[in-house]
Amino acid sequence: MINRPAYLNDVLFALYAAEKLGWTALARTHFQRILYLCAALSDLANSEWGYDFSNTLYGPFNRYISTAPDELVHQRYAEAIEVTVQRDSKMKATFRATDAGKERVELIAKLRREQRRLAWIYSVMGVLTVYGPTVTSKLAFIEPTFTTMKLENRKGAIELSGENNQSIQLLRRLSDQLERDYSIHLDTPVSHLILYFDYLSRDIGRSEPK
Amino acid sequence: MSLYTRAIEMKIHPGLNLIIGGNGIGKTTLVNTILFGLVGNATYEKLDGIKKEVPLIDEDYFHGRLEPGDQDLAQVTITIGVGMDEVSITRALYRPQILRLHHKRARTRDVQSITGSPAELERRYRKLLERLLGLPTFEDFVFIVANLLIFDENRRTLAWDPEVQNRMVRLLSVPRQLDESFSKLSVMVTQNDTKGRHKSEDRKRIRSAIDRWMEAKADEDVEPQDVDKERQNIEKRLNELDQQIDRLEGEVEDDRLKVNSEIQRLKELNARADEIELKRAPLIEKQTELESQFYGSIYKSVPAAYVLLLEALVKEGLCEFCHTEGRQLRALGRELKSGGLCIVCRSPIDYSKSLETDNKQSLGDEINSIRETIELLDIELTTFGAAQATARSTITVLQEVLAEKTRSIRNLDTERFELKTRYTALSADFNGDEPDPWLLEQNRAIKKLDDEIEKLYRKRDDAKAKLREINEKILQVLRSVNESLTPLFSEFASQFLGTNCELVIAQRTRQGKPVAYMFPRFLDKERPSMNQVSESQRFFIDQAFRMALISWFTQTNSGETFCIVETPEGSLDLAYEENVAKMYLEFAKQGHSIIATSNLNSSKFLVELFRHLGDNPKGKVLDLLAYGRLTSVQDSHKVDFNKSLKQLNLPPL
């Protein structure tokens, strides 16, 4: 069981990375998608992610992550911008880290484990930057573990461990093929990420990099 | 303490003793604590189909119920009065251990403190109770407690369980000598029958071997030179077989040594992995503790619940606390949120709490270094894990090879035996008309078995006849018991059923042994199976049967006893609630101690019982709500609980 700071940390890290990578702001769904991709591929970073996502109509979902931005806003670590209240009273907003939030991230990253987590989130978001936010939203939907769950119509937590992690299996097949047929050797986690996202996003209308 | 907030002292009075509380407050745990004090982890024979020795209270029953800090403190002291003797025993709840044992003697009234090792104390406690209660063994005592004196929520019925009932009634009523010879004879019947059948099997085997031998002999029409040649072949093959078997046996011996050393190695690996795990666990604990300190001033400023309340207020205009809803509330929420005011006390919230950066820095360093050690240990554990897996698979492979070789040896050995038999037979053929020595030997063996079988079956039949005789005597005893039991049973059962009810005696045979038992009859219908009464009737008729049995026993043996009933009112309607209460009161009136547990609810059952407890129920009622921990659900219904308590004349929470 992972404790409350872990969710808050991850969302705050994503906001921090967004700022550094020049993303304007993150919407609620972005957190779910980005952190899901981080979790699905965390094997590359040699770490266990620690919490699950469920298979829902709207993509991979974790309820703690969905409320974390509000909590961060309340703690003044993040601010909500472009707030619109919809007809069903739901609030739509994008979020951005405040100075206090960034200061906190730097403090939390004194813990080496959190530092590694921040670095991983930064790497994943960094590679995603090339494809733009639209692709980011769609990627999680065609991500193989999630797709398998959907196809088999299985409810509950998306199984990301060991043999059940289809994402890592696919990535392994891809990198093996590169090595075998073209003698291309990928040596860093980031190079694996590039291969993976590039392969997955080939059918999605990608935008020009900024 | 983890079980209750403070120590509970409870004196069991003659008559009704009530333990009341709510769900999960610890009624059953208290009852089981009493039983544990009484019998510890002693076992009794559970007579359902297959005989099984089971403990009344499982060894780990209290493990999940005690916090680590309380494990050594938790104990129960029970004082048992038998006649004028008093035995006081204190047991630790976490591990099966007697801490103190005192015996106050009836005659001299002096208190003897018995000392010794825990095992010695247990042995002496059991002997003491056996002697005082006049029971053959302590297991019999546990059997009576388990099957007669507790009526727990598993609701095992005694009235319709011939075997348990038979055993119980025999324990309570049949003279010891008669009962002992009954048991001895039953064992004798079974043993002689089994032995006889085994011998018959042996005889059958020899007979078929002879038949096969005769057939083979009839088929043969051999010339002397063929015989010679065959004998030579057999000798050659026997030689080969001897060598092969020798070689294989040597290999098997070696393989066994290998397996053992591999197992030894695995054990060492396991031990070392355990050592690492032992080092790792406190580090993880420490890490968690430090991390919570680290995050203390980062995220602690606002609890999650606060944020959820505020968000509901702002987004939906809903107060999650009192469920008021409206536009104004939404406006209020927005005002508070934008003004940075607390929704509870309207004070401005200070977000600029000091960060204690220095403190965080050193905390962070400490966490990092612990984390590093943990990661190193994790790597070591992974290495060990791999070595353990390799060792395990090596052992499996070696064991398979070993099994295969053992199988080969057995096959070769069978072949050798058959060849040797054949060789003897061939040699015998040349002894002219002399009878075959192997055949003679087999025939002698059959004759011997014939005699033995006859003797065994004669013994069995004798024992059976005696058993029938004794059973007749036991039946007589049971009939007289039944005569006194029926009016008592009818008295209790009719309180509940509202109609007369009697007990019918019946006999049936179980595994060749006669078993006598009783079952109820009411509304002009015999009910030999519990399916012939409704579910709620079943429980209370059984209860009446138990009460009758206890009542009869205490009347004939002059003494006191107790019984425990757990939440008896469950699944009863209004009318029967009152009748059941009457039944218990009737039993209590006769001076028996009943410990009944009940939930504080809206049923009339408690009210009915309290009406008869008199103006001062105190002392006979243990209100566990005052001792246990209420859940948040119960906490929110405090008002309802207090209403019920007031109705029962008990102090509020």
Please answer whether residues B192 and B459 qualify as being in contact, where contact means their C-beta atoms are separated by less than 8 angstroms. yes
H or E element at residue B563: strand B562-565
> Would you put residue B537 in left (φ > 0), alpha (ψ -120 to 50) or beta?
alpha
Determine what percent of chain B is predicted with pLDDT higher than 70. 91
Beta bridge partners of residue B78, listed in sequence order: B89
**pLDDT at residue B226 in the model:** 74
pLDDT tens-digit map of B395-418: 999 999 999 999 999 899 888 888
Interchain proximity A111–B307, CB inside 8 Å? no
Determine what percent of chain B is predicted with pLDDT higher than 90. 11
Determine which of A71, A73, A83, A99 to mutate to test the interface with B (most B C-beta atoms within 10 Å).
Answer: A71
Determine which of A47, A111, A113, A114 to mutate to test the interface with B (most B C-beta atoms within 10 Å).
Answer: A111
Helix axes A112-142, B357-429, angle to 10 degrees: 70
Residue in B299, B308, B372 closest to A4 by CB: B299
Neighbours of B650 (CB within 10 A): 19
Indicate if the pLDDT at residue B430 is higher than 70.
no
SS3 B77: strand
Beta bridge partners of residue A79, listed in sequence order: A96
Q: Which residues of A touch B (CB under 8 A)?
A: 3-5, 8, 67, 70-71, 74-76, 85, 89-91, 100, 104, 107-108, 110-113
Interchain proximity B316–A89, CB inside 8 Å? yes
Indicate if the pLDDT at residue B370 is higher than 50.
yes
User: Which residue bears the tokens 């002392």?
Assistant: B619
Domain ranges (residues) in chain A: 4-201
CA of residue B26 relative to chain centroid, distance: 19
Tokens of B347: 């004070």
R_g over Cα of chain B: 38
The pairing of strands A78-85 and B15-21 is unpaired
Taking CA atoms, B446 is separated from A201, B207, B351, B450, B452, in Å, by: 87, 8, 100, 6, 10
Backbone angles phi, psi at B437, to 5 degrees: -65, -35
**CA geometry: angle at B20 spanning B18 and B21, to 5°?**
165
**pLDDT at residue A12 in the model:** 95
Tokens of B626: 């005052």
pLDDT tens-digit map of B229-287: 888 888 899 999 999 999 999 999 999 999 999 999 999 998 888 889 888 888 988 98
Among B181, B112, B81, smallest CA distance to B559 is for B81
**pLDDT at residue A88 in the model:** 63
Of how many residues is chain B composed? 653
Determine which of B290, B292, B293, B295 to mutate to test the interface with A (most A C-beta atoms within 10 Å).
Answer: B295
Q: Give me the torsion for CA of B215, B216, B221, B226, rounded to 10°.
A: -170
Indicate if the pLDDT at residue B520 is higher than 60.
yes
User: Which residue in A has a C-alpha nearest to residue B306's C-alpha?
Assistant: A71
Q: In the predicted model, what is the mean pLDDT of chain B?
A: 82
Q: Find the mean pLDDT for residues B409-431.
A: 80
DSSP-H helix ranges across B514-573: 535-557
Indicate if the pLDDT at residue B212 is higher than 70.
yes
User: Which residue bears the tokens 């469950």?
Assistant: B570
Q: Which residues of chain A does B311 touch, with a Cβ-Cβ cutoff of 8 Å?
A: 67, 70
Q: Which residues of chain A have pLDDT under 70?
A: 1-4, 85-91, 205-210
**pLDDT at residue B356 in the model:** 56
SS3 B86: strand
Indicate if the pLDDT at residue B146 is higher than 80.
yes
User: Which residue bears the tokens 């003494």?
Assistant: B559
Q: Which residues of chain B does A76 touch, with a Cβ-Cβ cutoff of 8 Å?
A: 351
User: Which residue bears the tokens 């006859």?
Assistant: B454
Backbone angles phi, psi at B632, to 5 degrees: -65, -30
Among B443, B48, B383, smallest CA distance to B207 is for B443
Calpha distance A42→B161 (Å, rounded): 60
Q: Which of B43-52, B323-332, B523-532 is the least confident region?
A: B43-52
Interchain proximity B355–A107, CB inside 8 Å? yes
Indicate if the pLDDT at residue B646 is higher than 90.
no
Neighbours of B585 (CB within 10 A): 18
Calpha distance B485→B505 (Å, rounded): 11
Q: Give me the torsion for CA of B122, B127, B129, B131, rounded to 10°.
A: -170
User: Which residue in B has a C-alpha nearest to residue A1's C-alpha?
Assistant: B288
